[in-house]
Chain A
Amino acid sequence: MSSLFASLGIARQAIMAQQMGLDVTQNNISNVNTPGYTRQRANFAPRDPVAHHFYQGGMGVLLQSVDSYRDRLLDYRLNQELQRKEEYSSSLATLRQVEAILNEHSGAGLQGDITAFFTSFSALANAPEDAHLRRQVLARASQLGSRFQAIYEQIQAVRSLQDRAIADSVQEINTLTAGVARLNVEVASVRGSIGNDAILRDQRQQLLNRLAELVDVTYFETESGGVNVMTRQGVLLAVGADSHALEVSASSVGNRIEIRSGGVDVTSRIDSGKLGGLLKTRDDLVAGYLETLDGLAAAIVSQVNAQHAQGIDLNGDVGGNFFVPFAQPEPGSNLGAARALQVAISDVAKIAAGEPGLGPGSNANAKLLAGLQNAPAFAGGKATFEQVYADFIFRIGLDARTAHDSLTTQETLLAQLQYQRDMYSGVSLDEEAVNLLRFQRAYEANARLIRILDSLTEEVMRILGG
């Protein structure tokens, strides 16, 4: 049987334990809306008993630990799915802009200008000597050039925005990996102390989740409690107390962006996340669109110029270049052709609509120029300008649709995972209300016990003091 003072000590510790339980509950309630917060639980255990004459006497309660309700596997899955969601999200944002630039459903798109340009030659065939119709041909050609240039410049502007977003993402990745490395040190230093470890881990998990939104990361925890972070293809980002910064630079080949780590090009080893989405969209999808536009423009220039040279103008001279010829920057490359599309002639008399040897009323070459729109000039002589452009629109639509559908699926999946995480790790105010009552009542009971022990002690003192 323990002494009165020993009992007072047991009651004091019990009060402290309930106080701690109240603190944990209060902390949970306070963080009910904190993103990424993992609810905590005060773990109580009976103190080791003390042997008395007849039995093992209980020594009250001990706050053993404050645990976080963290499902690491769920956290990891959430982290991985976040990467894909952000990849699709950044792709979709860019593709929506490209769709708006092409404006095929809400006005005159490039298709309309291409067809209008070629049909202006068909109109000219009605009266090849007519200055008004000739001016119309040049106006349509000029409009076509302006449209190509505008679309090209606008898509380039989208790429410039992507460049800035890539630079910002890399900067944020570096800040986050530095934060993870710092928290690795802090987790190791407070490891074993009650409570702090969990809060730091929450903070680190938040950083990891934000990191996952930006780049495809994988991570694992070491024995010291630190996490090592790398991309799925092995680019190290944070190892223990060290972080490895990424750098952005322009590629020496084409107009591409390179991501470097320690001076090494690691672009191809970044798959997902916002950065992965931006890189793929910028240098695969959008670059592909610009390549198609360039190819289309280069083919129009070369085909029209070649046919134009087969005719004669109003002065009886052989046709010169209708468009400014495009000089390929390197063999097989049409880079910049869309931006460079420009009419070479300003004198309407220079349009070579006629057949050599005939007078100004001949329309033979105007008809052949008009007929180019139906000529299979692409895909090894199997596709017309219009078919290539329709395919182009289909491709952009499909890419945007795929990104949209993937994003929707990913958001649903992510919502389910977040729901699961909330069910397990999230704070329930009802539960905390019950805990509050529980700890409050226990606190009150222990306080009353102390009062009883106090009155007993006072009684003993009174007897002794007699």
Chain B
Amino acid sequence: MRIGDAASYRNVLANLGMLNERMENATMQVSSGKRLTRPSDSPSESAEVTHLKGQLIRIDQYRTNVDSGRFYLRIAETALSSVHDGLTAVFMRGSQAGSNFNDPTALAALASEIRAIRDQIFELANSHIQGRYLFAGSMVHQPAFAISGDTVSYRGDNAVNTVEISGGLQVEQNISGSAVFDPVFENIRLLLDGIDRDDKTAIQAALDRFKQTFAAVGTVRSRLGVELAKLENVEIHLQAREESLVLRKARIEDANMAEAISRINQTQAALNAAFQVGSLVRRRSLFDYLG
């Protein structure tokens, strides 16, 4: 068979070109650590990675939302726990005031103590973080409650914010201050009114209403507990989901270093062989044998 000299060189060049391209791809994988370095490496997997990246960013935000929700709910829960303690203290002093062993001075002292506790609860109702009043609904820039004499009035609204903590799953981030604190303050006002007037019937009526108030605060605290538990569960789920997505993304995108390095070695061996063949092509000529 007749073989032209150019054909031999062209073959060597074509093989070198192919091997060099293979070497470049393997080297790029090793140096970048990525199996996919451009969409054309695997169009469908690239599209999937695009989805995965979007999901990971969203999960990151969901986790931030979980942290934020837990932060506000824990503050509210702590505040309501203190409110519960305050209410207990008020109830005990109210019960003392309702007995028949108090003279006016003692009653005045009890009323004064109750007012002091009421003021503490008032402060809790106006809890704020960085200028944000937690129990004011959406009117976060102003104190949730105002006080005039023994009358405390709500100045916020009943808006309850929810935030998304997972695909479509929302968690309440605040509670209506009016629903929790209005009965508390009204009850204390009635109690104080009864004590100021030394009206045992009114005092007893106010004390009777405390059961409902405790129940109301307890209900809200339970709800907060449920929401906090929901946040814990979702956080675990988000973490698991994130790990799964990161793993999937890595499997698609990241280079198998051992395989890539092995491919580099194989290609290098093939390149060395091709170089040797190339030098043989140059040496082989009948002219070398002619005198």
Contact = CB atoms under 8 A, between A and B. Distances in A.
Interface in B104-137: 130, 132, 136-137
Interface in B13-64: 14, 32, 34, 36-44, 46-51, 53-54, 57-58, 60-62, 64
Interface in B61-78: 61-62, 64-65, 68-69
Interface stretch (B158-166, B215-223, B261-269): B158-166
B38 A393 contact: no
B286 A390 contact: no
B141 interface: yes
B4 A422 contact: yes
Contacts of B62: 122
Interface residues of A, number: 72
Contacts of A129: 132, 140-141
A362 B4 contact: no
Given A358-B138, A360-B138, A434-B286, A370 B51 contact: no
Nearest to B62: A122
Contact of B10 (A112, A364, A397, A418): A418
B199 interface: no
Contact of A429 (B34, B37, B156, B285): B285
A114 B58 CA distance: 11
A199 B1 CA distance: 26
Contacts of B65: 122-123, 125-126
B173 A126 contact: yes
B290 A123 contact: no
Interface string B176-214: 000000000000000000000000000000000000000
Contacts of A355: 138, 159
Given A390-B51, A393-B50, A430-B286, A122 B159 contact: no
Interface in A349-395: 354-355, 358-364, 367, 370-371, 373-374, 386-387, 389-391, 393-395
Contacts of A310: none
A355 B160 CA distance: 12
**Range for the number of chain B residues in contact with chain A:** 35 or more
Interface in A156-181: none
A424 B6 CA distance: 11
A130 B68 CA distance: 13
Contacts of B285: 429-430, 433
B141 A386 contact: no
B141 A360 contact: yes
A423 interface: yes
Contact of B2 (A363, A415, A431): A431
A88 to B, nearest CB: 13
B39 A359 contact: no
A411 B159 CA distance: 69
Contacts of B38: 96, 99-100, 105, 397, 400
A415 B9 CA distance: 12
B280 interface: no
Contacts of A149: none
A372 B67 CA distance: 23
B164 A429 contact: no
A419 interface: yes
Interface in A77-113: 95-96, 99-100, 102, 104-106, 109, 111-112
A252 to B, nearest CB: 34
B253 interface: yes
Contacts of A390: 47-48, 50-51
Contacts of A358: 137-138, 157, 159
B46 A104 contact: yes
A115 B54 contact: yes
Nearest to A354: B138
B47 A393 contact: yes
A200 to B, nearest CB: 21
Nearest to B69: A126
Contacts of A397: 38-43, 46-47
B270 interface: no
Contact of A111 (B1, B6, B54, B164): B54
Contacts of A359: 136-141, 156-157, 159
B11 interface: yes
Contacts of A127: 68, 132
A427 interface: yes
A400 B37 CA distance: 13
Which among B37, B61, B285 has the highest number of chain A CB atoms within 10 Å?
B61
Contacts of B53: 109, 111-112, 115
Nearest to A401: B40
Given A418-B10, A430-B286, A102 B64 contact: no
A106 B34 contact: yes
B287 interface: yes
Contacts of A130: 130, 132
5 contacts: A109-B53, A126-B69, A359-B136, A360-B140, A423-B3
Given A105-B253, A362-B159, A434-B286, 10 more contacts: A100-B38, A104-B49, A127-B68, A361-B159, A371-B164, A393-B46, A393-B50, A397-B39, A429-B5, A433-B287
